[in-house]
Amino acid sequence: MKKNPPLIQIPGFQFSGAVAGIKQTKKPDLALIVADRPVKAVATFTTNLLKAAPVLQGQSVIGKGKLRAIVVNSGNANAATGPKGLKNALTTAAAAAKQLGCSKSEVLVSSTGKIGVQLDVAKIIRALPAATKALAPGNFSAAAHAIMTTDAFPKMHAVRGKIGGKTFTLAGFAKGAGMIEPHMATMLAYIFTDLDLPIAAMKKAFGKVVEATFNSISVDGDTSTNDTAVLLASGASGISVKPGTASWRAFEGALQEVCSKLAWMMVQDGEGATVVVEVHVKGAKNADSAKHIAYCIARSPLVKTSFFGKDPNWGRVFAAAGYSGETFDTSRVDIFYDSVALVLNGLPTPVSQEAKAHKVMKNQSFRVLIDLKGGKGESKVWTSDLGYPYVKINAEYRT
């Protein structure tokens, strides 16, 4: 299986990135994704009660299970903008539909950026002709760059494989660096494949993978207003895949890999992040309990600042598990930083172990394992550290 081809192309799709002038930097801020024909599509959105206008628009069109295009602007979230904001999202979809010659119900809109600022939709309308003219199968990277806000780098990954002697492609790009927390985060993710997938099974598979990837990361504990993840299948490869078959497992494996890579890169790019930490809780009474404990640890400012300082302060980890509200026997708990045991059966190991753990924490990534030894529940959450750069970026985000 060949991964990350130099030029990412997915049969059945074209991409472009353009400058609409929404960002003050005049960098690309409008991405256009267009399928050669209406394609099967499923999506998940933020669980935040405050849903941005494009989320409401996206939820209204995705139910039909078919999309022709996606329009994404960066630099303005179009959130907390009331009826006018929703009208602007609908106007964007209608303008794109007119430009592409399709139905507005086949266009999904996404936005990311500042909350509470009305979107100047006229800028998007003016930029759409240029974005349409620039559409090309090879402009995947251009679209990925256009959706960035505080991201330090574009997040892209692709997998190519074979089913029945034919080649298929599954690829995706995403943005996200701050306001990252479960139940979708301040992230936009667009996944594409040229496989032909049954819509019901496609939706189920995507939901499962989203839960294990995009819903298993945390940078700062803030769930955003605009989170959107979409999976589109063009069928252009001519490969029809049925659930329960080896070909379906190949699809699921590719989907898991692409989403995992994108989710990992979001944590890696956590604003000011210097390390990615896998918080692995096992031995809980059930999987939900394990995930709850893992998130209490992953979002703790005290734990995260200790990661930044390379300080093996296991007491903060233990305390976060203890205040999670989940029940477990504290006298049985083991805590490891990679292979270094810092707590065994609820008690600290010799202080000399902390020097070994300090060395582990100097790596670009490491694992914190919390074994409760009280059941079969298990969960993993990826998180980043929290340091001075995060405060500076977010303190000055609007100014």
Q: Which residues are catalytic?
A: 186
- Nearest CA to 297 among 361, 349, 359, 367? 367
Place of tokens 């994108």: 262
In the chain, DSSP assigns E strands to 2-3, 13-18, 30-45, 66-76, 107-114, 155-163, 166-175, 188-193, 217-218, 228-233, 276-284, 334-337, 340-344, 347-348, 365-371, 377-384
* Sign of the alpha-carbon torsion through 182, 211, 252, 56: negative
- Contact between residue 32 and residue 135 where contact means Cβ atoms under 8 Å apart: yes
Token pair 């960066």 is at which residue?
A: 74
3-state class (DSSP) for residue 56: helix
| Cα 46 from Cα 29, distance rounded (Å) | 22
**DSSP annotation string for 128-181:** HHHHHHT-BTT-HHHHHHHT-SS-SS-EEEEEEEEETTEEEEEEEEEE-SSS--
Instruction: With beta carbons less than 8 A apart as the criterion, state whether 151 and 172 touch.
Output: no
Which value, to the nearest 10 degrees, does the dihedral of the CA atoms of residues 326, 265, 334, 309 take?
-100
